[in-house]
Every structure is written in C-alpha cells, then in structure tokens.
Structure 1
Amino acid sequence: MEKKKILVIATGGTIASRPTPDGLMPALSGEDLLALLPELRKVCDVDCRELLQLDSTNLSPCHWILMARAVAENREKYDGFVITHGTDTMAYSASALYYMLENMDKPVILTGSMMPAGETGSDAEGNLLLAFEAALSGHPGVYIAFGNKIIYGNDGRKLSSDEMAAFGNINRPQAGSFSDGQLIWQGDDFLPKGPFQLHDRLDTRAGVLKIVPGLPPSMLKHFVDDGYRAVIIEGYGTGGIPDQESENNFLPLFTYAKNHGCRLICTTQCTYGGVYMDHYEMGVRALRLGVESGGKLTTEALLAKVMIELGEAER
C-alpha cells in the first residue's frame, strides 16, 4: 500500500524552543522535531514547510493567513497536515483555521507542547505522535491534538499555564481521544458540507472588551471612535451587561455603536455554558438594541469568525 503523505507546517513555539540566557526561544525546525521521531517516516512520507519560528505570543492574524494559505496551496498534494504551534495562542489560530478553511476535506491538526521537544519528561513527542495519528486518520477538518485529546478547532482553549493536559474542549463534545495506543474518534460531525473554500481576507478591526465592576461605558466608546467594526463583549453569567440600574449603564453605547457601524457581540466570562441573553431583562434590552448573541462559541472562535465575516463583507 502506498504511504500517505503528510505536510508538517512549523511555526515555532515551546515545542521548538531551546534555553537561552533570556529564557526559552524557538530554535528547532520542523525537520529537527521529526528527527526525534524517526519511526514516523516508516509509516508515512513527510515533508516540512518552515513557515515561522515565533513564540506564539507574537503571532497575529497575518500569520493565520500564512498558515491557511500554506494548507490551501497544498491541499491536493497531501493526505493530512500537522501544524506545530506555541500553546499560548493555539486556540486562536485553530479557531481561525477552522473558519478560514471552510469544508476542509483533509485533516489539519495543530499541536504543541508544554515542554521543549527532547527534554526529559517532555510532552512534545507524545503530542506529535497524536497529531500524526489524527492526520493519518483521514478525518477531515481542523483540530487541536494535545494531551491525548482531539478537540474541534473552534472549541479549544488553553485552561492551564503549567499542566501537561493544558487544553480542554469547552461547549462541544471532544472530537476524539487516544487510549491504550488507539485513536478513537467520538465527535458528532466530520463530513464537509460543500466544496472547499479559502477565506483569507480578514478585517482586524475587531476587539474584545471584558466587563468588570465599575468599568465605564466610555471604554466601549473608545473602540467605536477608534474605528473598530466589531467588539466582542465578555459579559457576566448568561451575558449580563450593566444597564439603566447601574451607574455604568452601557445601553446608550449600544445605540451609539450601531449608529457608527460597529457590531456588538455578547459572550460570557464563564468557561462553560455559553450565552442566553433572553434570560434576564438586561440581556433582552441588549438584544433589542442590536447586540448579537455569541451563543456557545468561545471568545477565540468569535474573534476569528467576525474578522472573517468583516473581511468577506468588503469583497
């Protein structure tokens, strides 16, 4: 049987880091990482694309575009893709690629590690093997492979800054898991619903505002006056935002934002559960003033999705 072909797209991150006098910094290439797992080339043909070598803290939407294009340009040449990535912004990149690579018909698997590859006790090798298992499986779509979990690209979040099992799925079932040496797919939907489309036009005039007690509504006005076309508001609980009963009433600013062409999307600061804006008066009032509900999507997913929607609207 002919071996499957996998393209590794290297972007840096802890998995590729080495100690320096100033702390860990990305230094290893994709080929360096593969050299730690020589058995992979026995089961598949692997090529590497050295796309970036960055701490993922320094990644921005322009790098999402590079990643998405690298996959799209090679979609017909390979059976799957593994993207090595830093953990700090992996959930943002995975969410972006989930929407940018619409109806992706091959596996696109993002992975990284909490410790550099090659160090004693590192999780890098295990996560890489999991990513390759997923990439070779043929299950289409964009996923995060981390800590024996396969997570849908638009539902992952880094939940811990120091535990090996750093990532979790938020409001959607896990797509799969690795147990007893076997990858088991257990998610709800894997088949593309139409032809593949690349969405590589992003409008980055979208921001996030976290509501905290005492926050003045003028903070939202700053976003609008600075030309932002969308603001994701992280409210309390099911989507609570201070209204006329508070000295910091945001309701007039909702009208102001709408009149200035700025979309407002409400999400929750809670990790799980999502937004239910029809539960309380303040949420109902916000809906009537044009605030959109973010539903069960994470902030990471909402930010990527709205940037794409704004960019598409300019075509």
Structure 2
Amino acid sequence: MKNILLLSTGGTIASAPTENGLAPAIHSDNILSLLDSVLYNYKVTTKDILSLDSSNIQPEEWKVIAKSIYENCNKYDGIVITHGTDTMAYTASILSFMLPNIQIPVVITGSQLPLLNPLTDGIENLRCAFAMAASETPGIFLAFNRKVILGSRAVKVRTTGFDAFESVNSPYAATIDSSGLHINHQVIKKVTGKCKLEDKLCKDIFLIKLTPGLNPEIFDMLLNMNYKGIVIEAFGAGGLHFIRRDLISKLEKIVQKGITVVVCSQCLYERSDFSIYETGKLALEKGVLQGYDMTTEATVTKLMWALGKTNDVEEIKKIFQTSFVGEVTIL
C-alpha cells in the first residue's frame, strides 16, 4: 500500500456555489471523504496549503507549493496536488524547474466541475493522479481525463471540455485504458542526482503576442518598467517584422540593455526555427534566444527560473539550449 500525500490548493475541484459564483470551499479532508473506493489501495495523508482560485496562484504561491513538496518528498511514495485548471500548466511547468531530480511522482490535477457536482470529472482525474503517484515514476506530472502529461509540456486547450489539457510536442507520459496505467518511460527524464529546491525566481517577465503592425516602441515601455526578460510569441517558425516597423533593431537595443529576449511560436504545435527565414536569422544575430518547441508556459517559467539563477547572458543562453525536464527538443 503506497503512502501518498494529498496537497490541496483550491480551484474548481474544491469549489462550491456562492452568491458571487464558484469559490474554493472544501478542504483536503473533505476531498478525501468524497473519494471512497478510489483510496482503497493507498494510505493517504492530507494537507491544505492554499485555498485559491488558480487565477490568483502566482510566483509567491509557486514557492509555497514547491517548498511543501520538497519538505515532504522523502516522507511519501508520491504526492498529489489539487489545483485550479486556469493556471495549472504554469504551475506544473515551474515546479518541474524548481524541483530538479525529484525522486518521487508529483502529480497535479483538478477538474472542470466541482467534486460536489454529481457529474464531476474530478473523481476520475483524482483516480488517475493517485495511480500515477503510486507508480514509482519520478517527475512532475499533470493528470487529466485519463492522460498524464509531463509538467513542462502541458497546455490547457479547452475552457469547459473534460479533455482540457494536451501534451504539446511530446507524447503523453502515461495513459489509462481498460488494461490499466501505461507509462511511456522514454518521455520521462531520468533522475541524475539529489533533489534540490531551486525556488529563486525572477518575476519581472513580460509575455507579448506579436500582431501585424505592432509598434516597436512597446519595448521601450517595457524597458522603462524594469522588466528583466521578455517572451515573444512570434509568427510561424519565428517571424518578426522589420519593414516600416523594425522590431529587429529594437530588440537588438533591448538585448544590449541586458534584457533577455526569448522568441517562441504562436503555433501550438511544432518548433520555431530561426534558421529558415531572413527575419529569424537577423533576430539570432542580435542576441535573441529561441524557444524551439517549448510551450509558452514552459518558456515563460523557464525564463523566470533562469533569471533567478543568473544574469550572465552566456549562462542563460546555455540554459535555453538545454533540456532539463523534457521541456524542449534540441536538435
């Protein structure tokens, strides 16, 4: 019988109707009482660490969650975290970086309908999360709708559908069908040392989606606001306009001021590749970094983590050319 810790942070799964709409209301021990047969094979300990709509889970809360995992990872066979779906992919991604070499399964899940709703998807998601948490497969994962995703590859793609999350540019870490839990070990990074808590983050990161005709002066504003890093969702494989509105020259000035700029693609699938078009090559020459096939969530959180570790331009470049938790494919 595996010893599992259930950490509750709030979200829809723990919500109940109020006069102002759904809000987190039930605690982890209440969640436990609703699961019944799900828990027959596990010894479960519960702990409430937050009670928030996930829209309010920010870098400060990430540190609380990461610390709770780190303090308990040697006491349990696995950890399940209940979390709201809206920012779940960001949390799963940043935890992957903050807890390198985690030696147990840590599985984040939630639901599109509260556990108190008779049609909830939460019980099935928890069933999947507990199975993965008991699997002895180290890593940070997100479990939803009978699928398990690497924490650094998860993206929320639907607002209400039960199939809310997809694994982008990477196979699923595990799936569940009538014959049980099937783990794809080729997807999962091997543990190479002791787990560390690397929770120093740079919160001064800005994400901008490029649109045709975007005024390059927006980057002067960001410079004046003391941002340390910028992530740009560019066109296609990494296109940036430079005729009439010269983004390339502006980004060169930004990089010279010590701000790290990482460009990924607006396209959900496949990779950015600056070697294909003139605009991409020009951007690389000016010091812009590639996001390759990382999700936007992974790009943003990796940059927060990288700038929390160092301000050295070459070190940050090396970080973005390295896959730490399966977050990127470097060819």
Same fold (TM over 0.5): yes
Residue aligning to 2:51: 53
Distance in 1 (CA, whole Å) between partners of 2:252 and 2:4 is 50
Q: Alignment partner for residue 132 of structure 1, among 130, 133, 136?
A: 130
Q: Distance in 2 between matches of 1:181 and 1:165?
A: 20
Give the AA of the match of 1:262: I
Q: Who is 1:230 aligned against? A: 229
- Look up the SS of the partner of 1:92 in the other structure: helix
Q: Secondary structure at the match of 2:232?
A: strand
> 1:254: how far off?
1.4
2:259 to 256, 259, 262: 262
Identify unmatched segments of 5+ residues in structure 1.
Answer: none
Shift of 1:192: 0.7
Rounded to whole Å, the distance in 2 between the matches of 1:77 and 1:239 is 45
Deviations 1:113-164 (A, max 9, x none): 0000031211000000100000011110000000111000000000001111
Please say if residues 103 and 193 of structure 1, whose CA atoms lie closer than 8 Å, have aligned partners that are also in contact. yes
CA distance in 2, matches of 1:211, 1:187: 36
The one-letter code matched in structure 1 to 2:267 is C
CA distance in 2, matches of 1:43, 1:274: 41
1:36-115 to 2 correspondences below 5 Å? 36-115=34-113
Task: Give the conservation status (yes or no) of the 8 Å contact 1:160–1:167.
Answer: yes
- Bigger CA drift: 35-44 or 76-85? 35-44
SS of the aligned residue for 2:40 comes to helix
Q: Aligned-pair distance for 1:90?
A: 0.2
Q: Is the CA contact (8 Å cut-off) linking 1:267 and 1:299 kept in structure 2?
A: yes
1 CA distance for matches of 2:255 and 2:311? 18
- Residue 197 of structure 1 deviates from its aligned partner by 1.5
1:201 paired residue number: 200
What is aligned with 1:278? 275
Select between 32-41 and 18-27 the one with higher mean Cα deviation: 32-41
Residues 234, 263 of structure 2: 8 Å contact kept: yes
Matched to 1:29, the amino acid is H
> Could you tell which deviates more after superposition, 135-144 or 35-44?
35-44
1:304 to 289, 301, 307: 301
1:278: Cα distance to partner? 0.7
Number of residue pairs matched? 311
CA contact (8 A) 1:9 1:51 kept: yes
Residue aligned with 1:178, SS: strand
Contact 2:16 2:116 in 1 (8 A): no
Residue 35 (structure 1) aligned with residue 44 (structure 2)? no
Unaligned runs of 5+ in 2: 313-331
Cα distance in 1, alignment partners of residues 275 and 156 from structure 2: 29
Q: Deviations over 1:145-203 (max 9, x none)?
A: 00111000000000001111100000111101010151110242342122211111111
1:212 corresponds in structure 2 to 211
Q: TM-score, normalised by structure 1?
A: 0.96
Contact 2:13 2:114 in 1 (8 A): yes
1:215-258, Cα deviation, whole Å (9 max, x unpaired): 10111221122111110010000011111xx2221012112111
Superposition RMSD in Å = 1.3
**2-structure distance, mates of 1:258, 1:65:** 29
CA shift for structure 1 position 42 = 2.7
Query: What TM-score do you get using the length of structure 2 for normalisation?
Result: 0.91
Q: Distance in 2 between matches of 1:171 and 1:120?
A: 34
Report the AA paired with residue 309 of structure 2.
Answer: E
Tell me the distance in 2 between the aligned counterparts of 1:302 and 1:117: 32
- Contact kept, 8 Å, 1:173 with 1:187, in 2: the verdict is no
Which residue identity does 2:61 align to in structure 1? Answer: H
